[in-house]
Chain A
Amino acid sequence: MDDTRTTTKIQELTYELKVEDVISKDIATVSSKLPVSLLRDILYKKRISGVPVVNDGKLVGIVSIEDFIKCLEQGEMDALIEDKMTKKIKTLYADEPLVHAVMKFEKYGFGRFPVISRKDKKLVGIITKSDIIKGILKKLETAYHDEEERRYRASHIFNDIIADEVFLKFQYYVEGKNFDRAGEAATGLKKTLYRLGLSPEIVRRASISTYEAEINIVAYTDGGEIIAYIDPHQIKIIITDKGPGIPDVKKALEPGFSTAPGWVKELGFGAGMGLPNIKKFSDKMTLRSTVEKGTHLEIIIKLSDYRNGE
């Protein structure tokens, strides 16, 4: 692969895209006049590590989970947020090129930056590293033809800015009993993983495993969901459905065991090799099932060579 070219394209995109093109705008904020105790719900329920403090739309500070814990330890839950928050904060303007954001993440090592408008200094959103990567992926998807896109994988941006806590989440719904659409999730995930610059072998193992699991949802259930979590260490794929469940999980895992009906067999599946295949291609596989409730399959594929790229 032509490395210089790839890097150039990704770098071009970080200049071309603006911060506002990739940020999450739907964010939780708090007012500075509220007591610290009210943060509990926001921080825990939304699972975020910091909340912007906003008065009349204007950003006045940021309060983190560490601030909250400190107050908790010192019995200061009634203190006002404005007395405990960080007031000197680094922000980004919405109209700045993405490359500024990339540089700021590198410089300060923060997990997120508030984004404000240049005009009135009002808070417009929050940006994380994961937002940047997703924004670039999306752009690659819409702007380039398949052939070109191959050369423009997002691997280098990952190498450059990924931090341990970044993870990406991709979600797919799978229709039950519809063989015409079976495979859409697995092939969609494959494309995404490829764009992320993962090695072809890793992509292949992840997509074969996902495909077999997807086929099972289509063949045996009324539908389900596939969620892939990607972080610098592993790909975790969770496949769930709401029934009918598997009466004997141990047996289902045996090569050759199958309850596939005729229509599944005619389509080239149902030889009892699906789950064994998933086992073969993953580093870890966990299958749990309750009859009438549903099945939960977790697949892990380790990414030892993630940073080193291909």
Chain B
Amino acid sequence: MINLKDIVQKLDLKVVTGNIDREVSAGYSSDLLSDVIANAQKDNIWITLQIHVNIVAVANLQELAGIILVNGRQPEEATLKKAEQENIPILLTELSTFEIVGKLYELGIHGNRR
């Protein structure tokens, strides 16, 4: 387990909502909500380019540790509001999915075992 706070610091992520003092079990990368609902696991950090409000509901449902939005994307207004309400950390990066996942991996965060 790695603390999300450390990740934010080391990868220079921008925190827009949520409490980042929590543990991350592993990483999950997907742009398909149905896939995340089916395959992500509790305390995963989720990497996606989706910015729609539904991502908050999915993160909540799966009890994810947080969502990283890639490639400089900003969350929609409604997403931000909902994430604040639900206390879901939303983090931003300019990097691509491939690269931010790579950097997380180097910090010791792996994918879920299958």
A residues whose Cβ falls under 8 Å from a Cβ of B: 256, 266, 271
Contacts and interface: CB of A to CB of B under 8 A. Distances in A.
A256 B50 CA distance: 10
A271 B69 CA distance: 14
Nearest to B33: A265
A47 to B, nearest CB: 47
5 contacts: A256-B51, A266-B32, A266-B34, A271-B49, A271-B50
Contacts of B51: 256
B113 to A, nearest CB: 26
A43 B50 CA distance: 56
Q: Could you tell me the dominant secondary structure of chain A's interface residues? A: loop
A69 to B, nearest CB: 58
A256 B51 CA distance: 9
B22 to A, nearest CB: 29
Nearest to A262: B34
Contacts of A266: 32, 34
A266 B34 CA distance: 9
Contacts of B49: 271
Contacts of B50: 271
A256 B34 CA distance: 20
A107 B50 CA distance: 61
A280 to B, nearest CB: 14
B102 to A, nearest CB: 22
A226 B16 CA distance: 44
Nearest to A256: B51
Nearest to A273: B49
Contacts of A271: 49-50
B97 to A, nearest CB: 13
A254 to B, nearest CB: 13
Interface string B47-76: 001110000000000000000000000000
A256 B75 CA distance: 11
A55 B86 CA distance: 87
A173 B55 CA distance: 38
A271 B50 CA distance: 8
Nearest to A255: B73
A119 B20 CA distance: 89
B9 to A, nearest CB: 30
Contacts of A256: 51
A266 B51 CA distance: 16
A115 B63 CA distance: 77
A188 to B, nearest CB: 28
A266 B50 CA distance: 13
Interface string B16-35: 00000000000000001010
Nearest to B49: A271
A218 to B, nearest CB: 20
A271 B55 CA distance: 14
Interface in B32-50: 32, 34, 49-50
A270 to B, nearest CB: 11
B74 to A, nearest CB: 10
B42 to A, nearest CB: 25
B61 to A, nearest CB: 19
A266 to B, nearest CB: 7
B91 to A, nearest CB: 19
B79 to A, nearest CB: 12
B66 to A, nearest CB: 21
A2 to B, nearest CB: 35
